[in-house]
A = this chain, B = another copy of it.
Amino acid sequence: MTNLLPMADEPAPERADAARNRQAILVAALELIRTRGVDCVTMETVASAAGVGKGTLFRRFGSREGLMAAVLNESEAAWQASVISGPPPLGPGAPPMERLLAFGHSRMRTNVTSGALIKAATGDSSARSRAAASFAVMHVRHLLHELRVSGDLVLLSIAILAPLDIMVIEQQQRDHISLDRIEAGWDDLVRRVVGG
């Protein structure tokens, strides 16, 4: 007999070799990205560096985009943790407005810093962008609520977050707009949206 407690639907009883390979792939990918830069890392390179076949990469991660998303996830999770339970003003404990501004600044700088990886992980319908965006919207919506903002908070959150997108930021940088100015502009936007 198996499975004394057939708990709900456990997503995936992953086989041992699969787990081992997955870890090896992620480690190899991270290292290669660090040394060569995202754009110079090919799936075949990662595969041979991890000591697996190319097919395995695609089996586990679906696409190059998926692999990059998995790599990105590790740092992203840490960032989300610091938003949820880190020190103020990013984490809880500061007034909502300060938290909101800190959140935007942090998100913006993070986007710039790991822009290449984020772009490599963000495609047309990437599962990654759904999850990441969802978290950000959730958080901003919550802060707007605490600030007693009224209206369609989900849409306002999306509107507030949109200018922080890497593509948008990079476009502005190409036009010689400094990060500080972008940041100040975003603060202004937020104050207008929140009102008062």
Contact A155 B185 (CB under 8 A): yes
Contact B174 A168 (CB under 8 A): no
Which of A59-67, A79-87, A157-165 is near enough to bind chain B? A157-165
Task: Tell me whether A125 is interfacial, beta carbon within 8 Å.
Answer: yes
- Known contacts A119-B124, A162-B165, A174-B125; A185 and B152 CB within 8 A of each other: yes
B contact residues around A171 at 8 Å (CB): 129-130, 133
Name the residue on B nearest A124 (C-beta): B119
| Beyond known contacts A156-B189, A158-B168, A192-B192: 10 more, CB 8 A cutoff | A125-B174, A133-B171, A155-B172, A155-B182, A155-B189, A156-B188, A159-B163, A162-B162, A165-B165, A167-B167
Task: Tell me whether A6 is interfacial, beta carbon within 8 Å.
Answer: no
